[in-house]
Amino acid sequence: MSSQQLILQRLQQVEAVMREHDHWQTQSPDAAAFASTQPFCLDTLAPLEWLQWVLIPRMQALIDAGAPLPQNFAVAHYYEMALPPGTPGHPMLLLTLRQLDALFSEPTA
């Protein structure tokens, strides 16, 4: 399985965990929320919104376009800090994000 396929698989797992724990939203935030210049759109989106509306679609778009993927990319640490431990699905979401991060730290073949 290619690294792109593994990344897509992990992104699908992130979505599945979010859906399972009722974090997946049916309505997109206002367009202005995406104009943020802050990392993770801290000033306009909640952490889980950023996963759903920014990370997942942008990674999928990069892969679909055959564009280069980021290197040394990592988000799990942010979510360890940003999500309260009592957040539904917290352990599984963090595990899946760590697995996603690991795919970006492995040397490409």
CATH of domain 3-24+40-105: 1.20.1440.40
Q: Which two tokens stand for residue 39?
A: 């990392």
Can you tell me the distance from the alpha carbon of 88 to that of 51, in angstroms, rounded to the nearest whole number? 15
- Yes or no: say if 89 and 17 are a contact pair by the CB < 8 Å rule: yes
Residue 85 pLDDT class (50, 70, 90 cuts):
confident
Distance CA 95, CA 99 (A): 6
Tell me: the pLDDT tens digits for 46-76? 999 999 999 999 999 999 999 999 888 899 9
Domains of the chain by residue range: 3-24+40-105
Q: Kindly report the pTM of this predicted structure.
A: 0.90
> How far apart are the C-alpha atoms of 64 and 90, rounded to whole Å?
29
Residues composing the chain:
109
